Amino acid sequence: MSEAAPSRWLSDWKAGIAIIVLEIWICVSLISYFSVITKRATELTISSPIVFLPLIFIIALNYFAFVYTDIWKEYVAEFDQLPKRKNRIGSWIVFGVVLFVIANLIFSFYLMSQIDWSQYR
User: DSSP for 42-67?
Assistant: ----TTSHHHHHHHHHHHHHHIIIII
- Nearest of 105, 80, 101 to residue 91 by alpha carbon: 80
Sequence-separated (6 or more) residues with CB below 8 Å from residue 115: 36, 39
Q: What's the confidence (pLDDT) of residue 121?
A: 63
pLDDT at 88 over 60: yes
Measured CA to CA in angstroms, residue 28 lies from 21, 42, 53, 56, 104 at distances of: 10, 11, 13, 14, 10
pTM: 0.78
- 2: DSSP letter: -
Q: Give the pLDDT confidence of 13-54 residue by residue, as tens digits.
A: 787 888 889 999 999 999 899 888 988 877 777 787 878 888
Q: Are 24 and 104 in contact (CB under 8 A)?
A: no
- Domain boundary assignment for the chain: 11-119
Q: Give the residue-averaged pLDDT of 84-109.
A: 92
